[in-house]
Amino acid sequence: MAESAQSLNQDKLEDYLKYLATFAKGYHSVEELERRAKIFFSNDKFIREWNSRSNGAQLGHNRFSDWDDQEYALLLLHHSSRSSTGFETETPQRLVSVDRSYVSGAIDWRETGAVGPILDQGECGSCWRFSTTVTLEAALFFKTGKYTALSQQQLVDCAGGSYGDYGCDGGLPAFAMLYSNAQPLMPAEDYPYTAKDGECQYDASKGLIAASGATFVEVENPYMM
């Protein structure tokens, strides 16, 4: 630790050590600690500058604050290619007409109870299942009048193989929707999220909702969202 203090300001180093304690992180060498600390302070500078400009949203630190952009993208962002079904190359369907009365004025869906809390995917490349479950949760809410959190882990564990998704290594919401038609999604409380790949534990008796299909809509058209 004395070696790292030579290249990093002691006060700054203490700030970084507090960050490590907060998120229960640690590294095996002084060199790796120094490298991570420098990334952390670069990200910290960005956060402080952003927040000082009063952009509305305020940024803060999380467990990824000492990761660089390449590491973050490699692990958490979608980076797999699927072409076996032709879904990705399908021309988006345009709706002939749209009833705009549904979107007159402003609606905060959080206040209606249709939207659940913010979720954390952890160190698992499963952003695709968030998109799927929140969409089906809203559909279930409009059908029943009750919000029910659906199982993201079911998609991670079960929507692979012929369904085209790859658990924590990436996937597509469209494929997950088609999967749900075969195995309706279970409640999250019955199949909780672990942020890692596992064996499929699907229980058909607890399936709640399925998508009848999936298609693309016109990009950046709010009336189709």
Phi then psi for residue 150, to 5 deg, are -100, 160
Q: Give the pLDDT confidence score for residue 144 in this predicted structure.
A: 92
Burial class (CB in 10 A: 0-12, 13-18, 19+), 47: middle
Q: What is the pTM of this model?
A: 0.64
Architecture of domain 2-67: Orthogonal Bundle (1.10)
Identify whether the C-beta of residue 165 lies closer than 8 Å to the C-beta of residue 159. Answer: yes
Q: Where in the chain are all domains bearing CATH 1.10.287?
A: 2-67
Question: What average pLDDT values come out for the chain (225 residues) when binned by 10 residues?
Answer: 51 84 86 90 93 85 87 61 43 48 72 88 83 92 93 92 81 86 94 93 95 74 66
Which residue intervals of the chain bear CATH 3.90.70.10? 87-224
Q: Return the CATH architecture of domain 87-224.
A: Alpha-Beta Complex (3.90)
